[in-house]
Amino acid sequence: MRSSFLILSILFLGYGFLNAQKKDEPIKVIEFSGKIVYDNNGNPEPLAYTNVAVKGTNRGTFTEYDGFFSLVALAGEIVVFSRIGYKTVEIKIPEVLTSDRYTWVQIMTVDDYVLPEAIIRPLPSKEHFKQEFLAIDISNELRENAMANLADEKLKEIRYSVPVDGRETSSLVIKQQARDYIYTGQMKPQNIFNPIAWKNFIDAWRRGDFKKKEKK
């Protein structure tokens, strides 16, 4: 009986020692989150689309509209904050943490680039420019071609054939993300029950917007 009690006591003490040792072990994998702001005339404002990357790895993310970010990191790793127009900042996560979460607020500083003056000329000198300018053909044929290229039908055709530029693409992406944030957690409205959408569809059908363009 005494031997059984002694064995149970040893097992209980050993379990308590292992449990206490497990609690004292430093936490390695953490959730690193926080907010990135910039100084707007003394008022901190959230800085969206700031890159947050763990140095030397392929892990990273970027801030949302409110400047919030969150990623999985390891204790002791170096995190890099970077954005065009702002100074790059590096911080080190403490190696010893008492929680599996670590929060950080980073203030970004504007980085000004002073470029040397550049003068762009189409020709080597003003004399060459005068000669080429006086030799320009301004005949009626060129004027008619220019007017034809600016006609409404030609501009409509170019609208569906010329790819969008970077500014228009980024604008479309931002608008799409804004719509996704508005309807987060709920079903988006269906335009099949929207009379305005039906009117726009019928008008486009009558204009022939859906007809296959003939290749010239």
Instruction: List pLDDT tens digits, range 135-158.
Output: 777 777 777 777 777 777 777 777
Q: DSSP letter at 110?
A: B
Can you tell me the distance from the alpha carbon of 56 to that of 208, in angstroms, rounded to the nearest whole number? 54
User: Considering the entire predicted model, what is its pTM?
Assistant: 0.44
Q: Mean of the pLDDT values across residues 6-17?
A: 46
What is the Cα–Cα distance from 95 to 162, expressed in whole angstroms? 54
Residue 1: what pLDDT?
52
Maximal C-alpha separation, the chain = 118
User: Would you state the pLDDT for residue 20?
Assistant: 44
What amino acid occupies position 94?
Answer: P
Q: pLDDT over 70 for what percent of the chain?
A: 81
Q: State how far the Cα of 104 lies from the Cα of 71, in Å rounded to an integer.
A: 12
Q: For the chain, give the percent of residues with pLDDT over 90.
A: 26
Q: Is pLDDT above 80 for 165?
A: no
* Stretch 57-78: mean pLDDT: 91
Give the integer Cα–Cα distance in Å for 158 and 156: 5
pLDDT tens digits along 100-149: 899 999 999 988 777 788 877 777 777 887 887 777 777 777 777 777 77
- Write down the pLDDT at residue 35: 94
**Inter-residue contact 31 to 97 (CB < 8 Å):** no
- Between 147 and 65, name the one with better pLDDT: 65
Instruction: Show the domains of the chain with their CATH numbers.
Output: 24-108 (2.60.40.10), 126-207 (no CATH)
The pLDDT of residue 197 is 80
Q: What is the pLDDT of residue 212?
A: 63
Q: How confident is the model at residue 22 (pLDDT cuts 50, 70, 90)?
A: very low
Beta-sheet strands, E only, within the chain:
29-40, 43-46, 51-54, 60-62, 68-74, 78-83, 86-92, 101-108
Q: Is 71 helix (H, G, I), strand (E, B) or coil?
A: strand
With tokens 């987060």, the residue in question is: 184
